[in-house]
Amino acid sequence: MRHHLLVALSLSAAILSAQETRERAPQIPFKLVEDFFKVPDNIYFAEAVGVALNSKGHIFIANRGNHPLLEFNPDGTFIRSWGEESEIFHAPHSVRFDSQDNMWFVDAGNNLIVKFDQDRQILQVLGSRPEPWTWDTHVIEKAVPGPTHFYQPTDTVVGPDGSVYITDGYGNSRVAKFSSDGRLLKYWGQRGTGPSQFNTPHSIVMDRNSTLYVADRQNNRIQLFDTEGNFKKEWRLSGPPWSLCITPGPAQIIYAGSIGRIFKLDLTGKVLGEFGKPGKLAGEVDSVHAIACPDEKTIYAAQEFSYRFDKFLLQ
């Protein structure tokens, strides 16, 4: 009896191993562009959390060091930094650009989403910073944030009509939709594993047909919605999707940053390939907290715990 059981277990293990081999995505050859970002000697990164490009190809990176936001030319030369000693930048989480080249900055520690114009002037603020003094004066009134406020938000995307979609995030496990003038229109989601439920919605992008893609990180999946929050489908992954980017153009591709690797998917959810060698050294892939893909062959990755911002070229 024991012999038959061992044989059965061995066969099951062999079948599972064969399935994993067949289902493993093709490995995409890639090359690290060494020392791409020309960082001044007096700037040191902390956790690398955000990366995005504007329409000029300028690269903006966000980290949790003393210089929270930095801007670079397309060739990697340094332009400027800002946010030093500002109370707005407490725990940066992501940075994005809309079609008008406005920058949207998400700060998870301050529960803020801040919209900047091209001259770095604040145009709009969603949410509000925690107010420690309310515990002495308005503790009951202010203890639980209302739906227009956030509980550690993570990412944002702006639709073609100016609507703003925010993944909110670590505490609320929802997606919130705001009008272009900052009015809360609706929100959907709660903690769970079912359709339209989330366990850390960590990143969000929109395709040219206005389908929303949400990285449901701890559930190892990407969920798809229309702009009213109606569930479309889910894509299961073999690792947690930490970050998403989507290429421009008519034939769009999604890249999903994970732990030790980056997935490449088409808009049907098919995994076209993956790349990355786990590690924290140059040319290796850590936890990819943010990712930018200006085209199908170029990837910028913010690798949180190795304090690295890297440019990869796919072969």
The CA-based diameter of the chain, rounded to the nearest angstrom, is 76
Does the reported pTM lie above 0.85? yes
Note whether residue 219 is domain-resident.
Answer: yes
* Structural domain count of the chain: 1
CATH number of the domain where residue 286 is located: 2.120.10.30
**Domain span including residue 74:** 27-314
Note whether residue 44 is domain-resident.
Answer: yes
Note whether residue 13 is domain-resident.
Answer: no
Note whether residue 6 is domain-resident.
Answer: no
pLDDT tens, residue order, the chain (315 aa)? 444 444 344 444 443 433 443 467 899 999 999 999 999 999 999 999 999 999 999 999 999 999 999 999 999 999 999 999 899 999 999 999 999 999 999 999 999 999 999 999 999 999 998 776 555 555 555 556 678 899 999 999 999 999 999 999 899 999 999 999 999 999 999 999 999 999 999 999 999 999 999 999 999 999 999 999 999 999 999 999 999 999 998 999 999 999 999 999 999 999 999 999 999 999 999 999 999 999 999 999 999 999 999 999 998
CB 248 within 8 A of CB 294: yes
Note whether residue 297 is domain-resident.
Answer: yes
